[in-house]
Amino acid sequence: MKIYSAGPWLALCAALLVAPFVHAAEGGGVKTETLLKTERSWDGELYKAYPAGQPELTMVRITIPPHTSLPWHSHPSPNAAYVVSGELTVESRDGKRQKHLRTGDTLAEMVGTQHRGVTGDKPVELLVFYAGATGVPLSAKAE
């Protein structure tokens, strides 16, 4: 007979018991809003896969000064940004695609395609969530 640790079973039982209350709480003032759900980056390209290896989630707060052009770069794994404040224009290096973002907007980033962000008259604050793998960089500067 195999003996299992109570830890995972206890957690599962607790989750099953609490689940009905989480949904009930939504009616009691808790609100959820899906800000972004997509299979494609902002340029319309379908995401193909996550990098191989141990999954690693990273969330970064980025503050960009006014009148700044970020360096051309690309990302090896999917990531998404939320504009906390300011306005940002993202553009592909080939000049064929461009998107203007304002406070409250989200962006599903390009993977493997060179691009950059350009700010206007005010600083920009972003929250960026990366879904990568241990040892895989968040971005790579273009050569």
**Which are the contacts of 135, defined by CB distance < 8 A and separation ≥ 6?**
53
Q: Answer whether residue 77 is part of any domain.
A: yes
| pLDDT of 28 over the 90 cut | no
Residue range(s) defining the domain that contains residue 73: 55-141
Domain with residue 109: its CATH number is 2.60.120.10
Kind and range of the H or E element at 115?
Answer: strand 115-119
Give residue-wise pLDDT tens across range 79-88. 999 999 999 9
Give residue-wise pLDDT tens across range 64-78. 999 999 999 999 999
**Which are the contacts of 129, defined by CB distance < 8 A and separation ≥ 6?**
57, 58, 59, 79, 80, 81, 82
Q: How many structural domains compose the chain?
A: 1
